[in-house]
């Protein structure tokens, strides 16, 4: 096989879920994605965007309605067993058998792979060595999730699929999982993960594909995506006696130094700027002239959240009526 | 590099998941034994009931009174005519023997025990007075081991256990794994599906061995239920039965995604067999028109084969028909289950 070939290619991927008595749901509407070998790519998007459908099609667990899929140069349906020998999978939500111990579970999963690592080594890598004799029903959420990732690593996969590996975990458990993923990447292996945490995507991924409403709306490294919206900083401020629906026109601030973009937010105004030290004095002066009183002012770096908002006009984490796939 | 056998690991895990679940252990092993003991005690063989006779306290009846009092089959009450009438009224005595113009029997003919009480009392009185039998009769006692209720019951309970063990032990466990997405996780590995099914059924076969031994030993220790046939034949019949119901369990569980669905399906499948298949009483008691349906139920065939080898000591060869029906059930349901099986 050509070593330089893409680890994952999907073209014009479509998936329609049909449930009797209900209108069909289009989970994917022409999703395009290429993942290079050795890269860690994150699918970032809100709930219901189609991330899980995409990853499960790539894992060979869900049939696409249309489109082309290549994983490690192979296609699902040709020789699934040898393809499965080369990939590792952690599903979004799996409750492993409660009554088995950590060690027994790892031995079971290890037995399915022709080649792979010693369960003891994986235990060390996910820091569960002390828990090896513990039954799964006694583990914490973070420990269970590390075990799930450990099960995905047992076959020393060339390609690792992780579906929301850190959702619902405490900060320490999240960092533990990130370390596992980084070590996998350092060995030159490929990772595809889904997340709706922008900080996770920023820290972990070489490239991020922003998924919304069944397709990829932007791909690039986190810094590329951030540059794409102009400024690198965000200034957010609120005004006295101005609630969200009675804010002054944002065009009032457009001509301030280094401002790239202005918009109103749920409780204030948000400016994307290149140089906050030039913009803030001018902003304060302008507010004084307009007799507007500042209630708060914060600055921060542009995040992928801002990228998502600027691309879709919606927040990544905002609750929405997710057309969650069955 | 160390070799790991997927068959063995899957089988081991299944065994552990079972014996670490106290509820499953109780329902598979404890409950059937308790049921056997309970039913065995309730339906134990009792000595025939005594006939309660009221006798008037009259000098003319003293011979009759002596006769009846010395006979173990009667319990006698002696008193005035008024007392005798009261005993009859309250049901404490089935018949009263009074002195009238000779001997008078007084009884309530609408009560079920009256006729037999009258016959027995009259027989004892007439025989004591010198009546002889005209036709010579020989009585043969049939309350021997092998013909008691408990002897009928044990093979039936064994069959019932093989049924519920197969259906719950395979069906319930499979659906639980589907709900946990454990099936989906397994199918996402290179695991061979065949290995998974074999381990599920293999472990179920192993669980039946103690199940069978426990019941047979309980029956023998507490109620002296004898085993007429060979243990090998019993094991073969039980093994075929277990396989057949394991297949049915897998079939019922092949699509279900909810515990409510599988519980409903299993109860619907088991209910007719609980009633018709001769667990607690013979299925021959049902009308002829139902017999083709009853005989087509796998548990009817299993119970009949088990009774034949355990109670009658029949050979395996003689049971080819019920065994083939069971094998057919097992095979057909297994093939259909594999075709319809849903991993996600």
Position A33 in a domain: yes
- The angle subtended at Cα B187 by Cα A208 and Cα A21, nearest 5°, is 80
The CA distance from B284 to B122, in Å, is: 37
Cα B321 to Cα B265: distance, rounded to the nearest angstrom: 27
User: Could you tell me if A189 and A236 lie in one domain?
Assistant: no
Q: Which helix (H) or strand (E) holds A165?
A: none
**Does residue B207 contact residue B165 with C-beta atoms inside 8 Å?**
yes
Mean pLDDT of chain A: 87
Domain closes at, from A179, A202, A226: A226
Q: With an 8 Å Cβ cutoff, are B181 and A61 in contact?
A: no
Nearest by Cα to B97 from B130, B125, B131, B129: B125
DSSP per residue over B4-37, as a string?
--HHHHHHHHHHHHHHT-HHHHIIIIIHHHHHHH
Question: Are residues A117 and A249 both part of a single domain?
Answer: no
- Residues forming CATH 3.40.190.10 domain(s) in chain B: 51-128
Query: A55 and A95, same structural domain?
Result: yes
The per-residue pLDDT for A262 is: 84
Q: Which of B13, B14, B190 to mutate to test the interface with A (most CBs of A within 10 A)?
A: B190
Residues A169 and A32 in one domain: yes
pLDDT at residue B224, rounded to an integer: 84
Residue of B nearest to A57 (CA): B188
Q: What gap in Å lies between CA A265 and CA A306, rounded to an integer?
A: 11
Q: How far apart are CA A48 and CA A27, in angstroms?
A: 8
Residue of B1, B2, B4, B184 to mutate, testing the A interface (most A Cβ within 10 Å of its Cβ):
B4
pLDDT score, position A253: 86
CB B309 within 8 A of CB B229: yes
Query: In terms of CA atoms, which chain A residue is nearest residue B2?
Result: A118
A226, A250, A265 - which closes a domain? A226
Within a domain: A127: yes
State yes or no: ipTM above 0.85.
Answer: no
A19 CB within 8 Å of a chain B CB: no
Backbone φ and ψ for A209, nearest 5 degrees, come out as -110, 120
- Taking one residue from A and the other from B, the number of pairs with CB-CB distance under 8 angstroms is 75
Adjacency order of strands within the sheet including A66-71: A25-35, A8-17, A66-71
Q: What is the CA radius of gyration of chain A?
A: 23
Q: Looking at A180-319, which runs of residues are DSSP E strands?
A: 190-195, 207-212, 215-220, 233-239, 259-265, 268-273, 294-301
**A23 is a domain residue:** yes
**Cα–Cα distance between B215 and B218 in angstroms, integer?**
5
Chain B contact present for A96, CB below 8 A: yes
The CATH number for A285's domain is 3.30.70.980
Q: Are residues A61 and A117 in the same domain?
A: yes
Q: Is residue A149 part of a domain?
A: yes
Residue with tokens 């036709």: B135
The verdict on residue A250 lying in a domain is: yes
**Per-residue pLDDT, A11:** 93
* Chain-centroid distance, C-alpha B161: 10
Judge whether B276 and B294 are in contact, CB under 8 Å.
Answer: yes
CB contact under 8 A, B181 and A91: yes
How many of the other CB atoms lie within 10 Å of CB of A325? 16
The answer for A297, left when phi > 0, alpha when psi is -120 to 50, beta otherwise, is beta
Q: What pLDDT does B298 receive?
A: 96
CATH number at A51 reads 3.40.50.300
Q: Where are the beta strands (DSSP E) in B219-335?
A: none
Instruction: Encode pLDDT of A144-157 as tens digits.
Output: 999 999 999 999 99
Closest CA to A13 of A47, A46, A62, A48: A62
> What single DSSP character describes residue A207?
E
Inter-axis angle of helices B193-223 and B6-19, nearest 10: 40
Which residue matches tokens 């080594």?
A: A121
Q: Is A134 touching B (CB cutoff 8 A)?
A: no
Phi/psi for B95 (5° steps) reads -150, 145
Q: Which residues of chain B have pLDDT under 70?
A: 1-2, 45-48, 141-146
Question: What are the chain A neighbours of B181 within 8 Å (beta carbons)?
Answer: 91, 93-95
C-beta neighbour count of A240 within 10 angstroms? 9
Query: What tokens does A80 get?
Result: 């699934």
Q: Domain end: A195, A226, A257, which one?
A: A226
Does a structural domain hold residue A252? yes
Are residue A265 and residue A283 in the same domain, yes or no? yes
Q: Do A95 and B182 touch (CB under 8 A)?
A: yes
- Say whether both A162 and A35 belong to one domain: yes
Q: Where are the alpha helices (DSSP H) in chain A?
A: 51-58, 80-86, 102-111, 119-125, 141-153, 171-186, 198-204, 222-228, 276-289, 304-312
Residues in A closer than 8 angstroms to B185, CB to CB, are 89, 91, 94, 96, 151
Question: Residue A295 belongs to what domain range?
Answer: 230-301
Does B1 touch chain A if contact means CB atoms closer than 8 Å? yes
- Radius of gyration for chain B, computed over Cα atoms and rounded to the nearest angstrom: 29
A200 Cα to chain B: minimum distance (Å)? 24
Task: Report which of A165, A218, A223, A221 is spatially closest to residue A192, judged by C-alpha positions.
Answer: A165
A242 within 8 A of A56, measured Cβ to Cβ? no
A249-286 in b/e burial notation, b at 16+ Cβ within 10 A? eeeebeebebbebbeeeeebbbbbbeebeebbeebeee
Cα A147 to Cα A127, A180, B184, B239, distances in angstroms: 9, 11, 16, 38
Helices B114-128 & B62-70 angle (0-180, nearest 10): 110
CB A38 within 8 Å of CB A189 = yes
**B268-279 burial string, b = 16+ CB within 10 Å, else e?**
ebbeebeebbbb
Tell me which of A97, A119, A134, A138 to substitute to probe the interface with B (most B C-beta atoms closer than 10 Å).
A97
Determine the length of chain A. Answer: 326
- Using CB atoms, which residue from A81, A82, A100 is nearest to B13? A100
Packing angle, helices B6-19 and A102-111, rounded to 10: 150
Instruction: With CB atoms and an 8 Å threshold, state whether A96 touches B185.
Output: yes
If asked whether residues A251 and A117 sit together in one domain, one would say no
In contact, B330 and B247? CB cutoff 8 Å: yes
Chain B touched by A76 (CB under 8 Å): no
A226 in contact with B at a CB cutoff of 8 Å? Answer: no
Whether B15 and chain A come into contact, CB under 8 Å, resolves to: no
What chain B residue is nearest to A154 in terms of C-alpha separation? B189
Closest-CA residue in chain A for B18? A99
Q: How close, in Å, is residue A131 to chain B by CA atoms?
A: 18
Report yes or no: A136 and A105 within 8 Å, Cβ to Cβ. yes
Cα nearest neighbour of A93 on chain B: B181
The total domain count for chain A is 2
Contact criterion met (CB < 8 Å) for A115 and B1: yes
CA–CA dist B154, B159 (Å, integer): 9
B22 touches chain A (CB under 8 A): no
**pLDDT score at A250:** 77
pLDDT at residue A3 in the model: 47
The answer to the question of residue A144 being in a domain is yes
Quick check: A84 and B189 CB within 8 A? Answer: yes
Q: Which helix (H) or strand (E) holds B99?
A: strand B95-100
- Claim to verify: residue A116 and residue A239 sit in the same structural domain: no
3-class DSSP state of A309: helix
Strands (E), B254-303: none
Closest CA to B183 of A271, A197, A184, A94: A94
Tens-place pLDDT, residues B124-165: 888 888 888 888 888 776 655 567 888 888 999 999 999 998
Q: Which of B5, B8, B188 sits opposite A91 (nearest CB)?
A: B188
Query: A110 vs A116, B10, B12, B202, B302, CA distance in Å?
Result: 7, 11, 14, 21, 40
Chunked mean pLDDT (size 10), chain A, 326 residues: 74 92 91 94 89 94 93 92 94 88 95 91 89 93 91 94 89 89 93 89 91 91 83 84 70 85 80 88 89 87 81 65 39
- Residue A22 sits at φ, ψ, to 5 deg, of -130, 155
| Partners of A265 in the β-ladder | A268
Instruction: Give me the sign of the Cα torsion angle B307, B313, B319, B323.
Output: positive
Inter-chain CB proximity B182 and A89 less than 8 Å = no
Same domain membership, residue A250 and residue A185? no
How far, in Å, CA of B276 to CA of B278, rounded?
A: 6
Distance from C-alpha of A67 to C-alpha of A50, rounded to nearest angstrom: 15
Contact in structure between A149 and A165 (CB atoms under 8 Å): yes
Asked if the structure places residue A115 within a domain, the reply is yes
Identify the CA nearest to B234 among candidates B315, B152, B134.
B315
pTM: 0.79
In angstroms, the CA B188 to CA B186 distance is 5
Residues A247 and A220 in one domain: no
CA atoms within 13 A on the CB side of A237: 20
CATH C-level class of B51-128: alpha beta
Distance from CA of A162 to the nearest CA of B (A): 12
* Tokens matching residue B297: 């139920």
For residues A90 and A131, state if they share a domain.
yes
State the smallest CA–CA distance between residue B19 and chain A in angstroms: 9
B20 contact residues in A (CB cutoff 8 A): 99, 135
Strands A207-212 and A190-195 come out as: unpaired
pLDDT tens-digit map of A10-43: 999 999 999 888 899 999 999 999 999 999 999 9
């Amino acid at each position: 096989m050509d070593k330089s070939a893409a680890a994952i290619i999907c073209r014009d991927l479509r998936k329609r879920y049909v449930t009797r008595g209900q209108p069909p749901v289009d989970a994917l509407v022409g999703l395009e994605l290429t993942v290079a070998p050795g890269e860690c790519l994150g699918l970032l998007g809100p709930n219901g965007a189609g991330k899980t459908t995409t990853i499960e099609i790539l894992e060979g667990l869900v049939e696409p309605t249309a489109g082309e899929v290549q994983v490690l140069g192979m296609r699902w349906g040709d020789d699934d067993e040898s393809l499965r020998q080369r990939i590792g999978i952690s599903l979004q939500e799996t409750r492993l058998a409660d009554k088995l111990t950590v060690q027994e579970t790892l031995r079971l999963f290890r037995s399915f792979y022709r080649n792979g690592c010693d369960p003891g080594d994986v235990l060390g890598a996910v820091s569960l060595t002390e828990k090896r004799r513990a039954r799964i029903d006694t583990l914490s959420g973070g420990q269970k999730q590390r075990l799930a990732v450990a099960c995905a690593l047992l076959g020393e996969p060339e390609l690792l699929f992780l579906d929301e590996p850190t959702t619902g975990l405490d900060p320490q458990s999240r960092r533990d999982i990130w370390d596992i993923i980084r070590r996998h990447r350092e060995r030159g292996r490929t990772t595809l993960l889904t997340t709706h945490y922008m900080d996770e995507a920023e820290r972990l991924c070489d490239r991020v594909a922003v998924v919304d409403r069944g397709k990829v709306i932007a791909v690039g490294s986190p810094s590329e995506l951030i540059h794409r919206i102009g400024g690198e900083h965000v200034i957010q401020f609120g005004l006295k006696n101005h609630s969200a629906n009675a804010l002054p026109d944002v065009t009032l601030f457009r001509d301030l130094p280094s401002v790239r973009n202005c918009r109103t937010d749920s409780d204030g105004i948000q400016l994307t700027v290149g140089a906050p030290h030039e913009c803030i004095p001018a902003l304060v002066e302008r507010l004084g002239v307009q007799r507007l009183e500042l209630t708060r002012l914060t600055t921060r770096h542009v995040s992928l959240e801002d990228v998502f908002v600027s691309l879709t006009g919606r927040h990544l984490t905002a609750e929405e009526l997710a057309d969650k796939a069955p | 590099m160390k070799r790991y056998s997927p068959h063995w690991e899957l089988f081991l895990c299944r065994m552990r998941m079972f014996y670490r679940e106290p509820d499953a252990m109780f329902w598979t092993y404890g409950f059937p034994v308790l049921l056997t003991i309970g039913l065995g005690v309730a339906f134990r063989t009792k000595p025939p009931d005594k006939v309660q006779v009221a006798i008037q306290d009259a000098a003319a009846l003293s011979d009759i009174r002596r006769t009846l009092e010395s006979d173990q089959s009667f319990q006698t009450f002696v008193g005035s005519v008024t007392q005798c009438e009261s005993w009859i009224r309250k049901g404490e005595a089935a018949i009263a023997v009074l002195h009238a113009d000779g001997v008078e029997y007084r009884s309530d003919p609408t009560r079920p025990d009256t006729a037999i009480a009258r016959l027995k009392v009259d027989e004892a009185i007439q025989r004591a007075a010198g009546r002889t039998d005209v036709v010579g009769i020989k009585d043969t006692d049939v309350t021997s081991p092998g013909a008691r209720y408990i002897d009928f019951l044990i093979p039936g309970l064994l069959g019932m256990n093989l049924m519920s063990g197969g259906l719950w032990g395979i069906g319930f466990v499979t659906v639980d794994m589907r709900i946990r997405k454990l099936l989906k996780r397994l199918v996402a590995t290179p695991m061979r599906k065949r290995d998974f099914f074999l381990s599920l059924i293999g472990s179920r076969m192993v669980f039946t061995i103690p199940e069978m031994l426990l019941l047979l030993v309980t029956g023998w220790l507490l109620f002296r239920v004898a085993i007429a046939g060979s243990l090998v034949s019993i094991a073969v019949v039980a093994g075929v039965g277990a396989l057949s119901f394991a297949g049915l369990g897998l079939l019922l569980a092949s699509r279900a995604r909810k515990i409510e669905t599988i519980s409903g399906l299993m109860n619907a499948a088991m209910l007719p067999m609980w009633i018709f298949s001769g667990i607690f009483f013979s299925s021959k008691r049902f009308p002829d028109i139902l017999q083709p349906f009853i005989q087509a139920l796998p548990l009817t065939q299993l119970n009949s084969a088990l009774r034949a080898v355990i109670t009658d000591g029949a050979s395996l060869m003689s049971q080819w028909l019920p065994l083939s029906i069971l094998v057919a059930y097992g095979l057909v349901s297994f093939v259909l289950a594999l075709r319809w099986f849903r991993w996600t």
